[in-house]
Amino acid sequence: MFNVEDVRRDFPILDTEVYPGVPLVYLDSAASSQKPTSVIAAMDDYYIHYHANIHRGVHRLSELATSAYELARQKVARFINAPTTEEVVFVGNATEAFNLVAYSWGRTNIGPGDEILLTEMEHHANIVPWQILAREKGATIRYLPIRDDGTLLVERLDEFLNKRTRLFSFTGVSNVLGTINPVTELVEAAHAVGALAMVDAAQTAPHMSIDVQALNCDFLAFSSHKMCGPTGIGVLYGKRELLEAMPPFLGGGDMIRRVTLEGFTTNDLPWKFEAGTPRIAEAIGLGAAVDYLNHLGIDAVHAHEQTITQYALESLSEVPGLSLLGPPGSLHGGLASFTLGGVHPHDIAEVLDKKGIAIRAGHHCAMPLHQKLGIPASARASFYVHTTFEEVDQLTAALHHTRSVFRLN
């Protein structure tokens, strides 16, 4: 188990005073995590010492940059236990990964009357690309419901999966409820009716180990910026035979083998899906983020978050008028979403901000989920490797203070 005080020294931003004399309490890692020095240094090193375009130069710097970019891919492949680096495509973020699959796989495999199954707890990134596709192709989208406690109604899967279902795309961990879903079971259920399974791992990859071979998922998507890496890069894992059969998403340089005035042939995987100059510095930063999480140990990261989250759920439940969203106990990932009496979450976030506490307020890009819950918005505190019990205490105290500001009885 790592020492949280040591970990905190790895994140220079944690020394920030957000207002004079008010230190930062960063409880918004689920929106985007902070970056350890090693990630920042890896990107600096690239820009200072060996920046050049990759894959096409024969000069020394280009070779160095190409190796670093491809080494980052190897690190990511190992991190999720992908069988080969060909199945690890660098994209802009998780959102782009969904759009890539919806555009490339979806437009060749989805037709009128086909069904795509999602769940009621999805992020817009795993809803809107399928809605665009379904609208264009005359397909139907269905949503597996959730229970009141924020878990999926898995026992009703039979009603929602059938021989028309082409794809079941669902989140590993809900960014609002914190629910940790039974991914293997959901993948198996999709495969049992001949559908593919895509996993939204945006809130999973930063927090717990992923083994795409054990999960047997067909596609899996996540973003670097939530797992200690830079913004601007994400990952699409896809099974090789699927990626091979899919047409390119974006056209241009790098994704081709040969171009004539009449047409083109595509490059090998994974470059077929990486058109144009890629996110070189960002890939190197993501590789360093993977190194950092491996150095802490991803199981230790998960264990730390579980301890902090249990503590936070218990502490927050004692704030009068506060309603926690999502399931209790070990089914709950590293965040706590809540409402507080009739106070608008934006007002809560503003009061907390004055105390240096950064939380997220709003619909968290999950409007359908909030509609289902019958609330316009919620407040969310999210935890990561550097979160301490003291910070949770500060959050709880600030919420008691919020109650007095808004004169809640």
Give the catalytic positions in this structure: 365
Here the tokens at position 380 are: 């969310």
| 123: contact with ligand PMP by CB under 6 A | yes
Q: Which stretch binds ligand PMP (CB under 6 A): 123-131, 286-294, 325-333, 343-351?
A: 123-131
CB of 57 to ligand PMP, least distance (A): 30
| 93: contact with ligand PMP by CB under 6 A | yes
| 337: contact with ligand PMP by CB under 6 A | no
Among 33, 223, 315, 337, binds ligand PMP (CB under 6 A): 223
Beta strands in 229-281 (DSSP E): 234-238, 256-259, 264-266
CB of 202 to ligand PMP, least distance (A): 4
CA proximity to 358, closest of 11, 32, 28: 28
Q: Which of residues 347-386 bind ligand PMP (CB under 6 A)?
A: 365
| 99: contact with ligand PMP by CB under 6 A | no
Among 34, 95, 309, 337, binds ligand PMP (CB under 6 A): 95
Q: Which of residues 194-213 bind ligand PMP (CB under 6 A)?
A: 200, 202-203
Beta strands in 44-127 (DSSP E): 88-91, 115-119
Q: How many CB atoms lie within 10 A of CB 355?
A: 17
Among 94, 284, 288, 308, binds ligand PMP (CB under 6 A): 94
CA proximity to 204, closest of 184, 190, 188: 184
Contact assessment for residue 179 and residue 152, using Cβ atoms and an 8 Å cutoff: yes
Q: Which of residues 160-189 bind ligand PMP (CB under 6 A)?
A: 171, 175
Q: Which amino acid is at 81?
A: N
Give the three-state DSSP class for 380. Answer: strand
CA proximity to 408, closest of 362, 332, 351, 356: 351
Question: Which of 39, 54 has the CB closer to ligand PMP?
Answer: 39
CB of 221 to ligand PMP, least distance (A): 7
| 29: contact with ligand PMP by CB under 6 A | no
Which residue is associated with the tokens 């929602």?
A: 160
Q: How many CB atoms lie within 10 A of CB 48?
A: 9
- What are the beta bridge partners of residue 238? 219
* Interface contacts to ligand PMP, rule CB under 6 A: 93-95, 123, 125-126, 171, 175, 200, 202-203, 223, 365
